[in-house]
Amino acid sequence: MKNMTLENIAAACGGEIYCMREELAQETAKGIVIDSRQIEPGYIFVATKGERVDGHQFIPDVFAKGAMAVICEVLPKEDLGPCILVKDSFMALKQAAAFYRQQLNIRVVGITGSVGKTSTKEFVASVLSEKYKVHKTAGNYNNEVGLPLTIFGIQEDDQIAVLEMGINTFGEMHRLSEVAKPDICVMTNIGQCHLENLIDRDGILRAKSEIFDFMNPKGTVVVNGDDDKLATIHEVYGKAPVTFGMNKQNAIWADHIENRGLLGSCADIHMGDDVVHAIIPLPGEHMIYNAMAAAAVALQFGMSKEEIAAGISHVEAVAGRSHLVEAGDKVIIDDCYNANPVSMKAAIDLLATAPGRKVAILGDMFELGENEKAMHGEVGAYAAEKGIDLILCVGELSESMYQEAVGSGGNAKYYETREALEAVLNEILQQGDTVLVKASHSMAFENLVKCIQVNQ
């Protein structure tokens, strides 16, 4: 890790080094982690205090595994090895990542928005990888802990980092931007999520726009021009954003769309005088937006339309994100990583294109604020109106979803808990069903996906 010596890290974190070893003075760290199980010789361990586990208790273990040093808030009782004492380990994690980011000759693409961040990240990374060596956010490491860890994974020969940046309150994106210092900022949309803290869509726009606070002032902003809130961003640092969307007024726009159902879609993506005939292997209209966002970013890096088309066609789904899973004679649309009203309706739209009987297993959506029950009800009514054959609603909040689904003429059933549905799910599902599984992450709906698979 370039210039990541103990002295430099301590200076970046405002920490004090104890038990320094002379032979380590010029050595650079090979990695920085917060999970003691990931320690390798030459790594630095950041001891953090979580709700259930205090990382300080693992300090002896990591030194036994060959850790170069530990960043901690409390010194171990014995001299086990070099320690950088700090007031706040989580803050030190961000400060060390911000310092490392500055040492790297790399361009950063920061991606945020209410819905589609992870899928857009995958599209952007896939397209850029056709020409460049790309490092991308693993899984959903997009918050104030995950983003620094993602940055620590950047290698010196990486040319571009594609970083997903997620928030749920004001000020958080400001801090993430300070760490990532993006050169290109991509905003997917402004939907109804985290309303508990951000109040309304205008609040969400303000919070997400904090990504501009530490971006390269000579960089580029890429936004979904079809989104009414993002369309109000007319310039950032004196420069108009690059817009994408279905509307021809956008800089990047699409037409001649062929919906291939669960197999994805085809579309012509217009980029000025150039047209890319894109084969998009992931299903849903929202994936066309993701492909357009990737094309907009690729143009900033001088990529050809052939490279852009190839990168779009090579993108792969992430587990829990509209991921198609074959389970015997059934097909599961595994979209259980997270949920809000916008993503719920998009997933229902996708299910509606499937052949055979369509079953939606829908659960609670959290952090929606005071109108949460009404928003759940809207989703239930929407599923009924889209002709979903069977709607299975799970969780306390989803009782409103169930009631509105039935009130709109839908065939729906209600279960208070996921476990209650698991007990009877095998009896409910039929051969040839296409099953959508979607809820907020803490509902643990990945267990329902496993339940369907196991019972084949």
Residue 288 placed within a domain: yes
- Based on the fold, state whether residues 154 and 200 are members of the same structural domain: yes
Q: What is the pLDDT of residue 441?
A: 87
Query: Closest by alpha carbon to 13, among 102, 85, 62?
Result: 85
The whole-angstrom separation of Cα 360 and Cα 334 is 11
Residue 99 placed within a domain: no
The CATH number of residue 16's host domain is: 3.40.1390.10
Residue 96 placed within a domain: no
- What is the chain's pLDDT, residue by residue, as a tens digit (456 residues)? 989 999 999 999 999 999 888 888 788 999 999 999 999 999 999 999 988 889 999 999 999 999 999 999 999 988 889 999 999 999 999 999 999 999 999 999 999 998 888 889 999 999 999 999 999 998 778 888 999 999 999 998 999 999 999 887 899 999 999 999 999 999 999 876 666 766 788 888 999 999 999 999 999 999 999 999 999 999 999 999 999 999 999 999 999 999 887 888 999 999 999 999 999 998 888 899 999 999 999 999 999 999 999 999 999 877 666 788 888 888 899 888 788 888 899 899 989 988 889 999 999 998 888 889 999 999 999 999 999 999 999 999 999 999 999 999 999 999 999 999 999 998 999 999 999 999 998 899 999 999 898 876
* Total domains in the fold of the chain: 3
- Based on the fold, state whether residues 159 and 33 are members of the same structural domain: no
Q: What is the pLDDT of residue 60?
A: 94
Residue 436 placed within a domain: yes
Q: Which amino acid is at 145?
A: V
Answer with the one of 261, 289, 313 that is the final residue of a domain: 313
CA distances from 82 to 16, 59, 294, 454 (A): 10, 11, 44, 49
The CATH number of residue 278's host domain is: 3.40.1190.10
Answer with the one of 264, 279, 313 that is the final residue of a domain: 313
- Based on the fold, state whether residues 16 and 161 are members of the same structural domain: no
Residue matched to tokens 């066309």: 288
- Based on the fold, state whether residues 209 and 300 are members of the same structural domain: yes
- Where helices occur in 254-328 by DSSP H, the ranges are 285-300, 305-313
Q: What is the pLDDT of residue 26?
A: 84
The whole-angstrom separation of Cα 308 and Cα 46 is 39
The domain in which residue 415 lies consists of: 323-454
Residue 432 placed within a domain: yes
- Based on the fold, state whether residues 368 and 252 are members of the same structural domain: no
Q: How many residues does the structure list for the chain?
A: 456
- Based on the fold, state whether residues 108 and 241 are members of the same structural domain: yes
Residue 275 placed within a domain: yes
- Based on the fold, state whether residues 140 and 271 are members of the same structural domain: yes
Answer with the one of 27, 54, 89 that is the final residue of a domain: 89
Residue 74 placed within a domain: yes
Neighbour count for residue 402 (Cβ, 10 Å): 23
- Based on the fold, state whether residues 203 and 294 are members of the same structural domain: yes
Confidence (pTM): 0.78
- Based on the fold, state whether residues 340 and 288 are members of the same structural domain: no
- Based on the fold, state whether residues 294 and 158 are members of the same structural domain: yes
The whole-angstrom separation of Cα 23 and Cα 101 is 26
The CATH number of residue 395's host domain is: 3.90.190.20
Residue 304 placed within a domain: yes
Q: What is the pLDDT of residue 237?
A: 95
Orientation of helix 372-385 relative to helix 398-407, angle to 10° = 40
- Based on the fold, state whether residues 265 and 301 are members of the same structural domain: yes
- Based on the fold, state whether residues 110 and 132 are members of the same structural domain: yes
